A and B are shown apart, each in its own frame.
Chain A
Amino acid sequence: MIDWQPLWLSLRLAGTTALLLLVIAVPLAYWLAYGRGRWMIAVEAIVSLPMVLPPTVLGFYLLLAFSPSNAFGRFLDHYLDIRLVFTFPGLVVGSLIYSLPFMVNPIVSGFRGLSLHLREASRTLGKSDRTTLIHILLPNIRSSLITGAVLAFAHTLGEFGMVVMIGGGIPGQTRVASIAIYDEVQSINYSLANRYAIILLGLSFFILLLVYFVNHHFTNPKTLP
């Protein structure tokens, strides 16, 4: 019937990427939202670059970087015994870069949408920036965090160009659902390809519904009876 492995792999890749990005994106977004300096604009552009970069370009450079026949790849292989080409962790690293802007940008918008007075008020109460971030800022941009996580998840789910370059299509490791669909079409297994495709389509649609629902829920203020 249907081999669930590619779907499970896709979900695992998307989930791992989204969770790790939450950890990476919050400090980065904080810095972009509140930092000052002329080169912030350059940083913002770099962060957003993966949105417009063709995924195969990203995949190509990652392949060069991670390949054991090149300096960095050799370093990883020799000293840390890590291979990033054709492995699941390699896909995670690629996805972190590929989906970064989808996490960072909503969070930056969220921070920028908060009144500056909130941060200042917390300072006047003697609180450090870190305390302010954790107890005041983040709880008030919950919808941005959720939106970012969900978008990063969905975006990673659909990855193909980058995976094709550095994945190798190895079953159980890097043969994610998008690759499996491609493979099954090539093998003239149209019905199986269709099954994968419909599941991914349904999942993506459901995710979008979730995002819109969350945003709707959080932007409707509770009013006095």
Chain B
Amino acid sequence: MPHPPTSAFRATKMLHTARGPQRLDIDFQWQQGRLLAIYGPSGAGKTTLLRILAGLTPADTGLIEVEGETWLDTVRRIHLPTRHRSIGFVFQDFALFPNLTVRQQLEFALPNPKEKAIVAELLSLMELNELQHLRPGLLSGGQQQRVALARAIARGPRLLLLDEPLSALDDDMRNKLQDYILMAHHHYHLTTLLVTHHLPEVIRLADEAILLENGKITAHGEPADLFAGRTMTITISPGNPSAKNP
């Protein structure tokens, strides 16, 4: 059976956090079709990692190869602009366009305005049909999240990047939305990178997980392996309720 293509991501960057300068230094790979969670406490550099991958934040040094396409190579001075990278990005604050209705958000995302079929399909799949003519200002948090997810998927990206997409929602909504993410990931055969600091989410959704601490990857494997029966060093910072030894 042919191996699914591998993608690789290496990068370093000096971060200036509230706790002082911190160096992000990562190197990992993933297979096409996987749902990979990037887990770690706040301030570890997870969002920056995702943004570098998307091309929204520059890296000091880096190499990004996604399914054979080079997106970044600081040595050979290659930097593919964000808009040429086949990605879908869901921001923490959803970043929906205030002037467009739900339907228009999805249509805007289409590379070819004639392919309206996928819009209809997404609206059904994400159960947005009744909301399609409303603007984001009239939607609840959970509804906006579904729209953001649908919009990111609409152009059929190679990589789906989710930056703590559920952190703004209450637990009830969280569970429901996790269903949607999983369903979309499977339905469209996506490769998904999910940044989260919510442990149960990792276990529920991810095929594999990366632990990011102080800018470095301290573990990479199956979620179950990662978090069960292993001693972990997690910095306990004030207000970080998910940090504890198992």
Interface residues of A (CB under 8 A from B): 115, 117-118, 120-128, 135-136, 139-140, 221-222, 224
Which residues of chain B from 65 to 115 have a CB within 8 Å of any chain A CB? 81-85, 87-89, 91, 93, 95, 97-99, 108-109, 111
Are B138 and A224 neighbours in the complex by a CB distance under 8 Å? Answer: yes
Are B99 and A124 neighbours in the complex by a CB distance under 8 Å? Answer: no
Closest to B97 in A: A136
B197 contacts partner chain A, Cβ-Cβ < 8 Å: no
Closest beta carbon of chain A to B168's beta carbon, Å: 13
Chain B residues, CB < 8 A from A127: 83, 108
Are A139 and B109 neighbours in the complex by a CB distance under 8 Å? Answer: no
Closest to B54 in A: A124
Chain B residues, CB < 8 A from A125: 83, 88, 108-109, 151, 154-155
B236 contacts partner chain A, Cβ-Cβ < 8 Å: no
CB < 8 Å A-B pair total: 56
B56 contacts partner chain A, Cβ-Cβ < 8 Å: yes
Chain B residues, CB < 8 A from A118: 95, 97
B24 contacts partner chain A, Cβ-Cβ < 8 Å: no
Selected contact of B137 from candidates A120, A136, A221, CB within 8 Å: A221
| Cα(A139)–Cα(B101), bound, Å | 13
Closest to A114 in B: B98
Are A140 and B99 neighbours in the complex by a CB distance under 8 Å? Answer: yes
Closest to A132 in B: B83
Are A121 and B155 neighbours in the complex by a CB distance under 8 Å? Answer: no
Are B82 and A120 neighbours in the complex by a CB distance under 8 Å? Answer: yes
Selected contact of A124 from candidates B82, B93, B97, B98, CB within 8 Å: B82
| Cα(A221)–Cα(B99), bound, Å | 12
Selected contact of A117 from candidates B93, B108, B151, CB within 8 Å: B93
Q: List 21 A-B contacts (CB under 8 A).
A: A118-B97, A120-B89, A120-B95, A121-B89, A121-B97, A123-B56, A123-B81, A124-B54, A124-B83, A124-B87, A124-B88, A125-B83, A125-B88, A126-B83, A126-B155, A127-B108, A136-B97, A136-B99, A139-B99, A140-B97, A222-B138
Are B95 and A121 neighbours in the complex by a CB distance under 8 Å? Answer: yes
| Cα(A222)–Cα(B134), bound, Å | 12
| Cα(A118)–Cα(B138), bound, Å | 18
Are B83 and A123 neighbours in the complex by a CB distance under 8 Å? Answer: yes
Are A117 and B155 neighbours in the complex by a CB distance under 8 Å? Answer: no
| Cα(A115)–Cα(B97), bound, Å | 10
